[in-house]
Amino acid sequence: MISKFKMTVFAAGLAAAGLYAGASQAEDYNIAFFAASSQNGFNQAIYEGIEEKAKELGNVTTEIYDGQFNAAHQYSQIEDVLASGKFDGYVVMANDTVGIAGAVEQLVAAGKPVVSTLFPIGPDLTTLDPQVEGLTSTVASPPADGAKAQAQAVVDHCKDRDPCNVVIIIGQLIFPFDNLRYEAFREVLDAHDNIKVVATGEGSYSPDVSLTAMTDILQSNSDVHVVLSNADQHLVGAEIALEAAGYTVPDLYLSGGGAANIAITAIREGRWDATLAYFPKTMGSMALDIVVKKLKGEDVPSSVNMDEVGPMPFIITKKELDASPDFVGEWEQ
Amino acid sequence: MTSVLSSARIARFFQTYAVLIMIALLIVALSLMSDSFLTFRNLQNILNQNAPLAIMASAMTLVIIGGGFDLSVGSIFAVAGVSAAWIALNVDPFLGLAIAPFIGLALGTMNGIVITTLNIHSFLATIATSMVFKGVAILITDGRLIPVRIAEFTWLGRDKIGGIFIAVIVMIAFAVILTFALNRTSFGRKVYSVGGNEEAAILSGVRTDRIKIATFAIAGMAAGLAAAISVSRISMGQPGAGIGMELQAIAAVILGGTSIYGGAGAVWRSIAGVLLLALINNGFNILNADPFYRDLTTGLIILAAVGISASGQRR
């Protein structure tokens, strides 16, 4: 009888412990994503990755905040959301990688895990090492490395051509990350005498602006062999301008950036040649995973180089796509 | 006495044609600096690239002459553009292009009704409606682009008739129609009277509300037409397209010499204002000039144009 009683108590104790452990595992986490803009395909894809991971983990809820491509707005937003005390951790895609550091320091000071995506936070865009003390992790691609690889692919393409005339369409040179990419392009290309950068235009991440810039550039440059850009959106406009000027686009070397679906299709069709890969959904998923692991007290990496962990090599060409026929871009542009 | 008269005439000439003088100076300078500038192909490209903005600025001229401001045309451009792309993709490419101006017309009419019914300044009213329209464009697309790689969709933005881009022909036809409406019809005279002295216009029996609604409706329709051309050219609907175009259109109108206070102005002036801004941009691209100097140069040239005009007024 006593032993029966003891067994019952023991079983009840085990059940209670099990319930407690279950409750501990199922602790709910509320995570905020500060998007550079919520009305942007790339940011939305990051958030899709965050949502998918949250669903997979089961005990995580998420919310997205719209930074409206406005650095000051995003800074205030972070302060307001922190004051609400509603969230356990944060994922940030900064509009101003330097200016936002003050707001991120406040998040860190509150003892919350913070992960930066796409760009590092701090003045040095060439390193993924945390520049804000206490920042949990940076999940990003170093801008200069990708740009150098793109330019090196141009060098390889041009090796039997002299001169090899290159047009660069860059986002906006007032953006530090675009300036860095442009300098990386030039550093590689200018080291080769057969390569002539005949013109540089600003595309402002808009097909329309790129179309105008490329049309004008083609007025004074009649023999273009390569269009090198940091964004697939720019190639959409450049391609239209080239066709209008009588070029057979597949004969040229076109390299963009983003691995948006439109670029994947164009490369598969042989119209474009390469795109520097970005995997926003994977990036968002990894960022959320790191925040949750940190909340659970697990070890997390201080940085994740997306060029090394993406589902495809970071320069995607037809060769890679032929080898992965089911691959689709992680965003729509 | 004769010399005073002639110097006054010269001053008036400079004041009246400041924007044309600046355009002439820029053309001479760019022709000397680049062999590629003064070619038929380049000049036509400039017109083609800027046809959407010129159409919007032409219609904005009527709004400003009528004493109003329309800060929502950029958002109307976005709504009409993404609607055109969506309809082209899901229904019919021609219908997509054809419907865009009517969407613009409907939204512009809504603007006019809001302004006249609530009796609020058009500046404030169109800031509010621009946010509403921008939100609609984002809702239609879910914030994404709508690629329309259909050959039947690109004719308006890319094809030519008789060696001239269709977009340029549409732009010229639209500007001619508006010029006729302003200068040769009672509607045009009423637009000037509403902007010049609304009270006097009311006392003269002009139904000023109807005139205002009409000017905003035309501005909306122009934004829709401009969107159809633009979305056809790049074969893609973008919810973020048109951002800032309202300010570019207003800047072109004022730069051309139309009075910011209403009651005076002309459509050709706004087209000239668009061309002046376009030439600067084209020059930078053709000369492969450092883009860091673009804003500085644009600002200085605008200041010069406004300065010439103002110096005439002082005399």
A180 and A318 part of one domain = yes
- Closest residue of B to A263, CA-based? B147
A16, part of any domain: no
Q: How confident is the model at residue A318 (pLDDT cuts 50, 70, 90)?
A: very high
- Give the confidence band of B179 by pLDDT, cuts at 50, 70, 90: very high
Q: Are residues A125 and A149 in the same domain?
A: no
A207 at B interface, C-beta within 8 A: yes
Confidence of residue B166 (pLDDT cuts 50, 70, 90): very high
DSSP letters of A166-180?
Answer: EEEEES-TTSHHHHH
A265 and A283 assigned to the same domain:
no
User: Cβ of A1 under 8 Å from any chain B Cβ?
Assistant: no
Exposed / middle / buried, residue B16 (Cβ in 10 Å: 0-12, 13-18, 19+): middle
Q: Residues A283, A262: one domain?
A: no
pLDDT at residue B149, as a whole number: 79
Whether the pLDDT of residue B302 is over 90: the answer is no
Q: Is A212 on the interface with B (CB under 8 A)?
A: yes
* Residue A198, min C-alpha distance to chain B (Å): 8
Q: A262 and B143: CB-CB below 8 Å?
A: no
Residues of B in contact with A174 (CB under 8 A): 292
Q: Is residue A284 part of a domain?
A: yes
Judge if A259 and A290 occupy the same domain: no
Task: Indicate the pLDDT class of residue B13, thresholds 50, 70 and 90.
Answer: confident
The answer, for B275 touching chain A at a CB cutoff of 8 Å, is no
Please report, as a single letter, which amino acid is at residue A241. A
Predicted confidence (pLDDT) at residue A5 exceeds the cutoff of 80: no
- Clarify whether residues A170 and A270 are in a common domain: yes
Residue-wise pLDDT for A102-141, tens only, equals 899 999 999 999 999 999 998 888 889 889 999 999 999 8
What's the pLDDT at A17?
A: 45
Contact predicate A74/A44, CB 8 Å:
no
pLDDT beyond 50 at B171 = yes
Question: For residue B205, what are the CA distances in angstroms to A11, A237, A303, B93?
Answer: 94, 51, 73, 45
The pTM for the full model equals: 0.78
Q: Which two tokens stand for residue A33?
A: 């994503």
Euclidean distance between CA atoms B172 and B67, whole angstroms = 25
Residue A27 lies in a domain: yes
Question: Is it the case that residue B142 has pLDDT exceeding 60?
Answer: yes
Residue A1 has pLDDT above 50, yes or no: no
Q: Residue range B144-169: average pLDDT? A: 89
- Say which of B234, B241, B286 has its CB closest to residue A219: B286
- B144 with A44: Cβ contact below 8 A: yes
pLDDT greater than 70 at residue B201: yes
Please give the mean pLDDT across all residues of chain B. Answer: 90
Continuous segment of H or E residues that includes residue A42: helix A41-57
Q: Does residue B115 register a pLDDT over 60?
A: yes
Interface membership of B39 toward A (CB under 8 Å): yes
Is residue A331 in some structural domain? no
At B244 the pLDDT is 87
Mean of pLDDT over chain A: 89
- Provide, rounded to the nearest whole percent, the portion of chain A with pLDDT above 90: 65
Same domain, A76 and A213: no
A5 within some domain:
no
Q: Which residues in chain A have Cβ-Cβ distances shorter than 8 Å to B234?
A: 207-208, 211, 236-237, 240
What CATH number does residue A246 fall under?
Answer: 3.40.50.2300
Q: What is the DSSP letter of A110?
A: T
Mean pLDDT of B289-307: 81
Looking at the structure of chain A, the number of domains it has is 2
Reported confidence tier of residue B313, pLDDT bands at 50, 70, 90: low
Q: Place B35 in a pLDDT band, splitting at 50, 70 and 90.
A: confident
Domain extents in chain B: 2-314
Q: pLDDT (tens digit, 9 = 90+) per residue, A189-225? A: 999 999 999 999 999 888 889 999 999 999 888 899 9
Residue-wise pLDDT for B51-94, tens only, equals 999 999 999 999 999 999 999 999 999 999 999 999 999 999 99
Domain B2-314: which topology? Answer: ABC transporter involved in vitamin B12 uptake, BtuC (1.10.3470)
pLDDT of B4: 59
Contact assessment for residue B56 and residue B77, using Cβ atoms and an 8 Å cutoff: yes
Domain range for A30: 23-141+279-301
When pLDDT is cut at 50, 70 and 90, the band that residue B211 belongs to is: very high
pLDDT at A11: 47
Between chains, do A333 and B41 touch, taking CB under 8 Å as contact?
no
Contacts of A215 in chain B (CB under 8 A): 45, 49
The reported pLDDT for the residue numbered A14 is: 44
Q: What is the 3-state secondary structure (H, E, C) of chain B?
A: CHHHHHHHHHHHHHHHCHHHHHHHHHHHHHHHHCCCCCCHHHHHHHHHHHHHHHHHHHHHHHHHHCCCCCCCHHHHHHHHHHHHHHHHHHCCHHHHHHHHHHHHHHHHHHHHHHHHHHCCCHHHHHHHHHHHHHHHHHHHHCCCCEECCCHHHCHHHHCEECCEEHHHHHHHHHHHHHHHHHHHCHHHHHHHHHHHCHHHHHHCCCCHHHHHHHHHHHHHHHHHHHHHHHHHHHCEECCCCCCCHHHHHHHHHHHHCCCCCCCCCCHHHHHHHHHHHHHHHHHHHHHCCCHHHHHHHHHHHHHHHHHHHHHHHHC
Q: Which residue of B has its CA nearest to A41?
A: B144
Q: Give the pLDDT band of residue B3 (cuts 50, 70, 90).
A: low
- pLDDT at A6 > cutoff 70: no
Taking only the tens place, the pLDDT of each residue in A141-190 is: 888 899 999 999 999 999 999 999 999 999 988 788 888 999 999 999 99
Task: Report the pLDDT averaged over residues B246-253.
Answer: 93
pLDDT reported for residue B315 = 43
Classify residue A12: in a domain, yes or no.
no
Q: How confident is the model at residue B5 (pLDDT cuts 50, 70, 90)?
A: low
Asked if the Cβ–Cβ distance from B147 to A217 is below 8 Å, we say no
Please state the ipTM of this predicted complex. Answer: 0.71
- Do residue A332 and residue B282 have CB atoms under 8 angstroms apart? no
* Model pLDDT, residue A2: 44
What pLDDT is recorded for position A222? 84
The tens digit of pLDDT for each residue in A259-311 reads 998 899 999 999 999 999 999 999 999 999 999 999 999 999 999 999 888 88
Whether residue B221 has pLDDT greater than 50 = yes
A31 and A170 inside one domain: no
- Percent of chain B residues past pLDDT 90, beyond the cut: 65
CB A236 to CB B236 under 8 A?
Answer: yes
